[in-house]
Amino acid sequence: MPELTYREALNQAMAEEMERDESVFLIGEEVGQYDGAYKVSRGLLARFGPKRVVDTPISELGFAGIGVGAAMVGMRPIVEFMTFNFAILALDQVLNSAAKMLYMSGGQIHVPIVFRGPSGAALQLAAQHSQALEAQYAHFPGLKVVTPATPADAKGLLKAAVRDDDPVVVLEGELLYPMKGQVPQGEHIVPLGVADLKREGTDVSIITHGKMVHVALQAATRLEKEEVSAEVLDLRSLRPLDVDAILATVRKTNRAVYVEEGWPLAGIGAQIVDIIQEEAFDHLDAPVLRVTQADVPMPYAKNLEQLAKPNVDRVIAACNKALYR
C-alpha cells in the first residue's frame, strides 16, 4: 500500500473520479494554472484541460452558484474554496440553494456537488482566517458534512462525496496537507456516515473529528503511560452521524470526552453530549466533558494562539477529570 500525503490523496481522488466520470469537473480560485493554493490540484489542468479545471475570479458567491446550477442540470462539480473562511461569502448558494433544492423541488432535482477546501486554524492566520465552521454546515438539513483526518480517509471520503447525489461539504485540515499515511490504490471508498475507531481502549472514550483526531491520539499515548486506556473514535462524518458508534464506545468505557476545534457554544460537541445523555445515560459513570477552542476570535500572537487552541494537555486533563483523578 503506497504512502501519500493528505494533499496527494485528495489529488488522487479527484483525478480518479474525473477519469471515471466526464461530468466531474473542478472549479475555484487558482485551481488550474497555479495548481491550487495548497497544491491539491497539481497536474489536473494539464491532464484534463481548462474546461474541466476552471480558474475563477475572486468571487465565492459567483462560482459556488455556477457549481450549483451545473449540478442541477447533470454535472458533478467539485467547488474548491481556498479556505472555508472565504466560503462565508458563498453561504447563500450553499445553504439556500444546494441544501434545499431537493426538498423544495419535491424530490425532482438533485444537486450532486462537492464543496471542499481547508478549514480551521493553521499557524498565525488570525481571527478571520482560522475558523472551524463544521457546526455551521452540519446545522443545515440537505447537506452532508465530512472531516477526513488521514490521507486514506481523505481519498475515500472525497470519492464517496463526488459520487453522492446530494451536496457534500468536505472540510480538510489545513495543517494536515503534508501529513503522510498509507492510502489504498484504486477503488477506495469510505462510506459517508460511518465513524472509525482509531484506537481501542477501556477506561475513557475520546470522541473527535478532523485534525483533532491526532491531538486525541497523542493524548491517548501519553495517558497510556499513566496506566489509562483511552479509546479514540473518529466520527469522520458529522452529517450523517454514526450514532451507533458513539453509543458503542460510551457503553464500553462509561466515560466520554469530546474534542473539537470549533467554539463551545452550539458546537458539534453539544450535539454529541445530547445524544449520549439521551441514549446512554445509564451507562455513564461521569459527566461527558468537552474540549474546544477558547470562546474568543483566534488571536494572532503565537503564544495566545497556542492558548486558544485545543491541545494534548487539555485533553489529558479532561480525561483525568472524567476518571476522577
Residues 247 and 167 in one domain: no
Taken in order 279, 282, 284, 289, is the CA torsion positive or negative? Answer: positive
Residues 126 and 265 in one domain: no
Residues 124 and 19 in one domain: yes
The CA distance from 122 to 116, in Å, is 17
Whether 106 is covered by a domain: the verdict is yes
pLDDT at 84: 96
Whether 189 is covered by a domain: the verdict is no
Indicate if 60 belongs to the active site: yes
Radius of gyration of the chain (CA): 19
pLDDT at 185: 84
Residues 163 and 242 in one domain: no
User: Is 230 in a helix, a strand, or coil?
Assistant: strand
The CA distance from 122 to 175, in Å, is 6
Query: Can you give the residue range of the structural domain that contains 38?
Result: 3-182
- Give 230's strand partners: 204
For 322, the enclosing helix (H) or strand (E) is helix 312-322
pLDDT in tens, the chain (325 residues): 889 999 999 999 999 999 999 999 999 999 999 999 999 999 999 999 999 999 999 999 999 999 999 999 999 999 999 999 999 999 999 999 999 999 999 999 999 999 999 999 999 999 999 999 999 999 999 999 999 999 999 999 999 999 999 999 999 999 999 999 999 988 999 999 999 999 999 999 999 999 999 999 999 999 999 999 999 999 999 999 999 999 999 999 999 999 999 999 999 999 999 999 999 999 999 999 999 999 999 999 999 999 999 999 999 999 999 999 7
Whether 190 is covered by a domain: the verdict is no
φ, ψ for residue 16 (rounded to 5)? -65, -40
Determine if residue 126 is left, alpha or beta; phi over 0 gives left, psi from -120 to 50 gives alpha, anything else beta: left
The CA distance from 5 to 144, in Å, is 25
From the candidates 17, 29, 60, 305, which is the catalytic residue?
A: 60
For residue 311, the domain's CATH number is 3.40.50.920
Identify the domain boundary among 160, 182, 204: 182
Identify the domain boundary among 182, 211, 229: 182
Which of 131, 126, 129, 167 has its CA nearest to residue 146?
Answer: 167
DSSP string, 134-155: HHHHHTSTT-EEE---SHHHHH
Residues 272 and 140 in one domain: no
Residues 176 and 210 in one domain: no
Residues 123 and 251 in one domain: no
Residues 150 and 290 in one domain: no
Indicate if 3 belongs to the active site: no
Which of 159, 150, 154 has its CA nearest to residue 180?
Answer: 150
Residues 73 and 204 in one domain: no
Q: How many angstroms from the chain centroid is the CA of residue 24?
A: 21
Count of domains for the chain: 2
Whether 167 is covered by a domain: the verdict is yes
Identify the domain boundary among 182, 215, 243: 182
- Going along 209-300, which residue ranges are E strands? 230-234, 237-239, 256-259, 289-291
The CA distance from 309 to 303, in Å, is 10
Burial class (CB in 10 A: 0-12, 13-18, 19+), 281: exposed
Q: Euclidean distance between the first and final Cα of the chain, in Å? A: 42
Residues 176 and 215 in one domain: no
The CA distance from 132 to 283, in Å, is 31
DSSP label at residue 82: S
pLDDT at 325: 75
Whether 188 is covered by a domain: the verdict is no
Whether 251 is covered by a domain: the verdict is yes
Which of 7, 10, 5, 24 has its CA nearest to residue 188?
Answer: 10
From the candidates 129, 139, 200, 283, which is the catalytic residue?
A: 129
Residues 155 and 201 in one domain: no
Residues 17 and 107 in one domain: yes
